[in-house]
């Protein structure tokens, strides 16, 4: 049996071990050197909420800048103090020395800081390119052949089976809008999950998952009719983490999708 095992328990070795552990700790948690792990659509929304609550007094509600002295426009995609996501992370957490930009501080949780980075990145309208399609043609398709108004509302026209798109250009880059049309299931927030109920006679009701409690659940079908079901009746049900929105990869041409994306991209809040 070798005797070296005893050395591990000498005080000196313990100190060395502790030093090693403490030294390692900052590396393990140095999120600011990593890639942004929070970049989904939901993170954009959460980031926007955080921004409006904590940053908009100086940078404006849509980050386009308050007045000259309070905080700069953050929507251009170019930052004086950062050239990467990791750099933005540091600015948002640590602030800009000797200015009123204090940052959230060392105690801020990494996820929130990254979500703010994601939100700011989503504002750079040039990042996803500029539209090649015709917004005017897209507008026609939206209410016409595309039948998007059968689920979506724009400026009060349409239905509520999908998110209101009146300002979708503020929150989605052009590339995201194109992806939305061909891969609607990529990231679906629980609010828009599909609920599928199967009856004893083989009936199927599929639609938007509305409220759900211990005993009942409700589905909104494609006619915007609410249907209530007992969880303890003859019907079985399943939650599908996919969108009720169909993919338009086959049913619309690429040109039509580009027109629609151009139209959606133009839907923004008034400055």
Residues of this chain that bind ligand HEC (CB under 6 A): 41, 51, 54-55, 57-59, 70-72, 74, 79-82, 88, 91-92, 96, 99-101, 104, 116, 142, 146-148, 150-152, 161-163, 165, 168, 172, 177, 180-181, 184, 188, 192, 243-245, 248, 260, 264
Which residue, 81 or 235, has its beta carbon nearer to ligand HEC? 81
Which residue, 134 or 163, has its beta carbon nearer to ligand HEC? 163
Least distance in angstroms from the C-beta of 261 to ligand HEC: 8
Least distance in angstroms from the C-beta of 56 to ligand HEC: 8
Nearest to 252 by CA among 242, 263, 243: 263
Other C-beta atoms within 10 Å of 200: how many? 9
218 HSE (CA, 13 A, CB side):
10
Which residue, 104 or 198, has its beta carbon nearer to ligand HEC? 104
Three-state SS annotation for the chain: CCCHHHHHHCHHHHHHHHHHHHHHHHHHHCHHHCCCCCCCHHHHHHHHHHHHHHCHHHHCCCCCCCCCCCCCCCCCCCCCCCCCHHHHHHHHHHCCCCCCCCCCCCCCCHHHHHHHHHHHHHCCCCCCCCCCCCHHHHHHHHHCCCCHHHCCEECCEECCCCCCCCCHHHHCCHHHHHHHHHCCCCCCCHHHCEEEEECCCCCEEEEEEEEECCCEEEEECCCCCEEEEECCCCCEEEEECCCCCCCCCCCCCHHHHHHHHHHHHHCCCCC
Buried b / exposed e across 54-64, counting CB within 10 Å, b at 16+?
Answer: ebbebbbebbe
Which residue, 125 or 163, has its beta carbon nearer to ligand HEC? 163
Query: Which tokens hold the place of 251?
Result: 């049913």
Least distance in angstroms from the C-beta of 194 to ligand HEC: 8
Which residue, 10 or 241, has its beta carbon nearer to ligand HEC? 241
Which residue, 24 or 249, has its beta carbon nearer to ligand HEC? 249
Which residue, 163 or 237, has its beta carbon nearer to ligand HEC? 163
Least distance in angstroms from the C-beta of 171 to ligand HEC: 6
Least distance in angstroms from the C-beta of 225 to ligand HEC: 14
Which residue, 46 or 244, has its beta carbon nearer to ligand HEC? 244
Least distance in angstroms from the C-beta of 132 to ligand HEC: 16
Least distance in angstroms from the C-beta of 160 to ligand HEC: 10
Least distance in angstroms from the C-beta of 20 to ligand HEC: 35
């Amino acid at each position: 049996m070798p005797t070296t095992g005893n050395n591990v328990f000498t005080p000196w070795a313990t100190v060395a071990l502790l030093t090693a552990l403490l030294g390692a700790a900052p590396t393990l948690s140095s999120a600011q050197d990593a890639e942004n792990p929070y970049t989904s659509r939901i993170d954009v929304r959460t980031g926007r909420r955080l921004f409006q609550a904590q940053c908009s007094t100086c940078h404006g509600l849509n980050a386009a800048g308050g007045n000259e002295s309070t905080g700069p426009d953050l929507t251009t995609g170019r930052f004086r103090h950062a050239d990467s996501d990791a750099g933005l992370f540091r600015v948002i957490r640590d602030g800009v020395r000797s200015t009123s930009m204090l940052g959230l501080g060392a105690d801020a949780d990494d996820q929130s800081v990254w979500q703010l980075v994601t939100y700011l990145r989503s504002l750079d309208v040039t990042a996803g390119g500029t539209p090649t399609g015709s917004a005017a043609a897209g507008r026609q398709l939206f209410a016409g052949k595309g039948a998007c108004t059968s689920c979506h509302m724009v400026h009060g026209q349409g239905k509520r089976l999908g998110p209101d798109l009146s300002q979708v250009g503020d929150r989605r880059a052009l590339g995201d809008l194109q992806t939305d049309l061909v891969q609607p299931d990529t990231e679906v927030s629980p609010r828009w999950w599909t609920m599928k109920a199967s009856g004893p006679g083989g009936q199927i009701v599929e639609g938007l998952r509305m409220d759900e409690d211990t005993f009942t659940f409700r589905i909104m079908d494609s006619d915007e009719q609410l249907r209530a079901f007992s969880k303890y009746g003859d019907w079985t049900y399943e939650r599908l983490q996919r969108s009720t929105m169909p993919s338009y990869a086959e049913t619309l041409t690429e040109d039509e999708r580009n027109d629609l994306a151009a139209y959606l991209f133009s839907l923004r809040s008034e400055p």
